[in-house]
Amino acid sequence: MKKNKYINLILLFICTICALYLFESNIYADDSLQKIITDDGKTDSVICKYFDNDDNKFKYKSINIKDIDKIRFKDNNISIQINNDNQYEYIQPDYKRKIHNITKLKDEWSTNKTALNVLSNYLKDNQDEVIVAVVDTGVEITHELLKDRLISGYDFIDHDDIANDKNGHGTHVAGIVAANTPENIKIMPIRAMDKYGYGYDSVLALGVYYAVKQGADVINLSFGGIGYSKYLDEALNYALDNNVLVVASAGNDSEDVSKFFPASKEEIIVVSSINELNDISLFSNYGNSIDICAPGSSIYSSSLDNQYSYMSGTSFASPFISSALALIKLEDKNRSPKEIEKILKMYTDDLGNEGYDNVFGYGSINFTNYVTVDKSFKIISPTSDIDINGKINIKYFSNGHIGDIIKFYFDNKLIDQKVIDSEGYNNYILQFEDKEFKAYNFRIELVHNNKVIYENKLKVKLLEYNTSFYMYDVNYKKIDDFEIQIYGIKDKNSKLVQRVNSNENGIAYTNLDEDIFRLYDRIVIITGGKQISENIDIPIYIKTIVSCGNKLLIPNNIQTVYLDEKMKNIREITINPFVNNYTIQPNNPIVKIIESEKPVYIECGSHVIKLHGWHSGSFEQYLYRLKGHGFNYIDDLHKDSVKLTYNINNLDDYICFSGSFVTNSKIAGCGIDTGCSFDGNLYFINYVNPGIYEFSIKRRIGGKDSTKYLRFRNTKKLKSNQEHNINVGKKLENSFLINYYNDIPQVIAIVNDEYNSILYNQYYDSMKLGLEYFYNVVLVDEKGVIHYSDCDFFNDNYYGYKEMIYNWSNIPDGNYTLKMIYSNLLKNLYDIKANEIKVTIKNGKFDLNKQNESPIVRTDINTCYKVKPFKTLKLDLKKVFNDKENDKLYYTINKGYIYNNIYYYRTAENELTDIKITANDLKGGSCTANLKIITEDTIQMNPDMEIDFTDWAEKQLDNEFSMKNNFIFRFLNDFKEVINN
């Protein structure tokens, strides 16, 4: 009986499995769907859109990783089992978005700059109602400012009708709307973000759908994050299709909005932030989807516990725009969204370049001179005294004045005039040329039949400079003595553009050519100067600027460096800024004097610092990379550092050493520098962080006073708690890399010593001398005729082989000996092993003499990776490429660094990066791997789901292992229990 029981159970199991699989569909993703991997293994959720056959409509579901971690793979694609014929349109990561707020600040400025109170007072007798939905962290429903302004909302985090705020961000946003609008503009609180200020796209989209269905006229979205979301985009389109105005904050990353969502969506209204000096806030994002700007620096509004506070961020610029849209809608509820948006953009003060630009959009809202359609004529902007650099964008409203003339006067002198040729809202760019830099009385007149029927007066100050800098210490005390270094970064190189010193009033003025922002990829300012060096309370500011204007340097993004008392010998820190994956080497070093047990304040970022001090009679240097944010506590650099020593006792020459961090694409520059040694005695001891370094070793030629050097370079990976010797060789040996791929004969020549230090084919004097001085690469034909080569610097994209490249033009076909001719200088200094290679020239290029198979990109690789800011992604290229002939592969890359076939990428920026790595066997074969790297500490991906970053899964996919799989799992467990018993 017991045996029959087992047999029956086994048969039941087999029948169950067969029956289940008869009704299932196995759907496989196409080849474009690729896994997304996290650097730390943490995962979260994905969103699936599917068609429910029972309800005959599309539905969405957010699925946590714990429900889908049993997804199988077949032929490198997802295999998801389903038990019905549901159609699955796409699957995507369920991104976490974050609120756009900065630290609380202490500076106060009036939000009346927007003049929303003028528009609000004008509409005070209007009895209609407009609803602004705030999709955020909720709202403190008992706050005195808000409690009478709220209508019913919903909490999508705790799933109830009370959207109470546990973070404070949503309360601050809602308070701005309440303070700038009358009571018949209602606020709908929707909690879709948690107490930490994060929210999933799946939940945020539900908040948008809810707002639309509950009658919202305006939806405010003060959040964002990296990565496009089709799911959230569909929700936003649903709102737009239902004539709801959608406002989003640009974000606080000082980056282009194109990589962020929803700020990159051009169909909605995207808001950047300005400061009290009418300039873009230094944290604000920018880009082509920016529509408008509003105050966002140090905004006073409601906070938790029935309190009020100051906060900064584009999060607090967008509710000003939401308020303005609601007011314009309130005036006439029949206005279309397009009409409302047009009116909004007219009531702006033009900032930045004349007209629209991608920093300020159409300008900063100002409703001081708001007019109704029955008004005859009115100047909309400017409305008050202004400072200009040569042009004014005059905005005006005209009704019934076709043919009338607008006249413009400076100090009662007519300088220009404009004939009105169209009705409604218009603008006119007024230019001032050859004017003295001073204040002028500016008058605008409207003339009808030679009679002035309208007049507007104000003062205009013509400025000599278009950019100014104001600086404050960590206590918000104004700094009077400082220096600004302005650098342009382009193509992995930096250049000092300007150096500006503050005047007696503590302001640094300069003129920046507008073209500079197009010429360079990024403009970075770095602060320095004697007072900054000696005053411990003054931070080192390192800011990206995207326009001319008034730059306010305040400590809203500062990290702290604190040295333990064990490091009391350290007296100085030199800072080399790390910006946009590039380490800048300031022309004028940025130095901070250390005071015992006091912190040093530096702009956030994984900057490289060099610490200096005397210890036991030696001058020690420590190279340290900051973690990028928060608190950097340095207690014992010896503990985790690499000590560098130098083995040069066998040489009588003067030797100089220097070493530098290797970053994504450029030697970091903030290096160690031992100066010179004599008879093996070093003046410096160096301790550095573990990591990859490139060392430059210079051997002086010709005695103590000579300025000529041989330079060697070596790349080393240094591990912590080790002592590393830098050796100098006595032997040289050459090798050749023949490029069979090129249309003309091409060779890479490498000369290295016995320690693999590569000799650079140059030396330093008052000028660079002939390259043939050290050696030359030649082809010798069968008759002994020498064919000399042309030499160029090697393509810098071939990382790890930054050598010389040699070409021959118009060389006859035939057999040759490839060899190197060394100079007598090298022969006298080194033991040389001269290697030769027999080669064939055919059809004007090197002939491989056999069929070559190109390397290929492996089909099982991941093409999208996630790494947190300040962390390093490491990728073994042997697992990316395969060459059947086992040829050595040489790589070109657009970003990152390759060392020993390992690809490294690290950045402090939140960004999506396209990586192209090309493998070349130099025999005519090559292939390229296209990868994506997401740098974001809030996006959480599922490592077991194959998804494509751009289109996600446009094919059919199931959303999870269905209930039947859970049943199978339980059945198997039960079956094991029966057998075990």
Give pLDDT tens digits for 732-759.
Answer: 998 888 888 888 898 888 888 998 888 8
Give tens-digit pLDDT for 481-532: 999 999 999 876 888 999 999 999 999 999 998 889 989 989 999 998 777 7
Predicted local confidence at residue 471, as pLDDT: 93
* Alpha-carbon span 5 to 22, nearest angstrom: 26
Give Cα 476 distance to the centre of its chain.
28
Q: What is the pLDDT of residues 69-109, one digit of tens each?
A: 334 333 333 333 333 445 556 666 676 676 666 544 333 45
pLDDT given at position 73: 34
Q: Among 264-268, 425-429, 959-963, name the most confident range.
A: 264-268
pLDDT per residue as tens digits for the range 896-935: 878 788 888 877 667 788 899 999 888 888 899 999 888 8
* pLDDT tens column, 604-633: 888 888 887 776 656 667 777 888 888 888
Is the pLDDT score of 709 beyond 80? no
Position 717 scores a pLDDT of 74
Q: Quick count: other Cβ atoms within 10 Å of Cβ 959?
A: 22
- Residue 926 Cα distances to 222, 576, 632, 882, angstroms: 46, 37, 44, 11
Encode 898-916: b = buried (16+ Cβ within 10 Å), e = exposed. Answer: bbebebbbbbbbbbbbebe
- When pLDDT is cut at 50, 70 and 90, the band that residue 671 belongs to is very low
pLDDT reading at 132 higher than 90:
yes
Query: How far is residue 426 from each of residues 339, 358, 377, 852, measured CA to CA in Å?
Result: 15, 21, 11, 67
Q: What's the pLDDT at 908?
A: 63
* CA neighbor of 511 nearest in space, from 548, 462, 547: 548
Q: Between 55 and 469, whose confidence is greater?
A: 469
pLDDT at 38: 33
Residues 262-267, mean pLDDT to the nearest whole number: 96
For the ranges 64-73, 281-290, 640-649, the maximum mean pLDDT occurs at: 281-290
Q: Is the pLDDT of residue 701 over 80?
A: no
Of 178-187, 353-362, 402-411, 790-799, the one with minimum mean pLDDT is 790-799
pLDDT at residue number 659: 53
Q: Which residue has tokens 């400076």?
A: 410
Instruction: Output the pLDDT for position 912.
Output: 80
Give the pLDDT band of residue 328 (cuts 50, 70, 90).
very high
Question: What distance lies between CA 498 and its chain's CA centroid?
Answer: 24
Range scoring the smallest mean pLDDT among 255-259, 717-721, 922-926, 974-978: 974-978
3-state secondary structure of 329: helix
Q: Are 71 and 48 in contact (CB under 8 A)?
A: no
Residue 460 has φ and ψ, to the nearest 5°, of -125, 125
Residue 880 has pLDDT above 90, yes or no: yes
CB within 8 Å of 370: residues ≥ 6 apart: 115, 118, 119, 122, 347
pLDDT at 652 over 60: no
Per residue in 184-226, pLDDT tens? Answer: 999 999 999 999 999 999 999 999 999 999 999 999 999 998 8
Q: What is the DSSP letter of 478?
A: B
Helices (H) and strands (E) in the chain, counts: 13, 73
Position of tokens 């003054």? Answer: 538
Could you tell me which residues come within 8 angstroms of residue 738 by beta carbon, excluding any fewer than 6 positions away?
746, 747, 818, 837, 839, 846, 922
> Does 954 score more than 50 pLDDT?
no
- Read off the pLDDT of residues 534-576 as tens digits, 9 standing for 90 and up: 778 889 999 999 999 999 998 888 999 888 877 777 778 888 8
Give CA separation, 517 vs 486, 659, 909, in Å: 12, 32, 20
Predicted pLDDT at 978: 31
Q: d(Cα 68, Cα 61) in Å, to the nearest integer?
A: 12
The number of CA neighbours under 13 Å toward the Cβ of 261 is 21
Cα–Cα distance for residue pair 144/412, rounded to 1 Å: 52
Alpha-carbon span 968 to 965, nearest angstrom: 5
Average pLDDT, the chain: 78
Instruction: Compute the residue count for the chain.
Output: 981
Q: What angle, 0 to 180 degrees and rounded to 10, lies between the N-to-C axes of helices 337-346 and 318-331?
A: 120
- DSSP per-residue codes, 344-397: HHHSEE--SSSS-BTTTBT-EE--TT---TT--EEEEE--S-EEESSEEEEEEE
Asked if residues 888 and 921 have their Cβ atoms less than 8 Å apart, the reply is yes
Active site residues: 136, 169, 315
Q: Are residues 287 and 553 in contact, defined by beta-carbon separation less than 8 angstroms?
A: no
pLDDT band for position 704 (cuts 50, 70, 90): low
Please say if the pLDDT value at position 32 is more than 80.
Answer: no
Which range is least confidently modeled, 121-130, 330-339, 443-452?
121-130
Say what the pLDDT of residue 8 is: 53
The DSSP output letter for 283 is T
pLDDT at 762 over 80: no
Which residue did the predictor score with more confidence, 17 or 820? Answer: 820
For residues 701 and 776, the model is more confident at 776
pLDDT, average across residues 594-613: 82
Query: What pLDDT shows up at residue 64?
Result: 64
- Rounded Cα gap, residues 976 and 965, in angstroms: 17
Contact 721, 713 (CB under 8 A): no
In the chain, % of residues over pLDDT 70 = 73
pLDDT for residue 203: 93
For residue 939, name the pLDDT band (cuts at 50, 70, 90). Answer: very low
**Which pLDDT score is estimated for 418?**
94
Can you give the pLDDT at residue 771?
Answer: 37
Task: Pick the most confident of 1-15, 87-101, 230-244.
Answer: 230-244
Higher per-residue pLDDT: 943 or 344: 344
Residues 468-472, mean pLDDT to the nearest whole number: 94
pLDDT over 90 percentage in the chain? 40
The answer, as to whether pTM is greater than 0.85, is: no
- Mean pLDDT of the 827-833 span: 89
User: 135 versus 653: which is more confidently predicted?
Assistant: 135
Both structure tokens of 395 = 């905005």
Distance (Å, rounded) from C-alpha 40 to C-alpha 545?
Answer: 33
More confident residue, 34 or 934: 934
Alpha-carbon distances, residue 474 vs 105, 194, 532 (angstroms): 11, 30, 12
Distance from CA of residue 346 to its chain's centroid?
Answer: 32
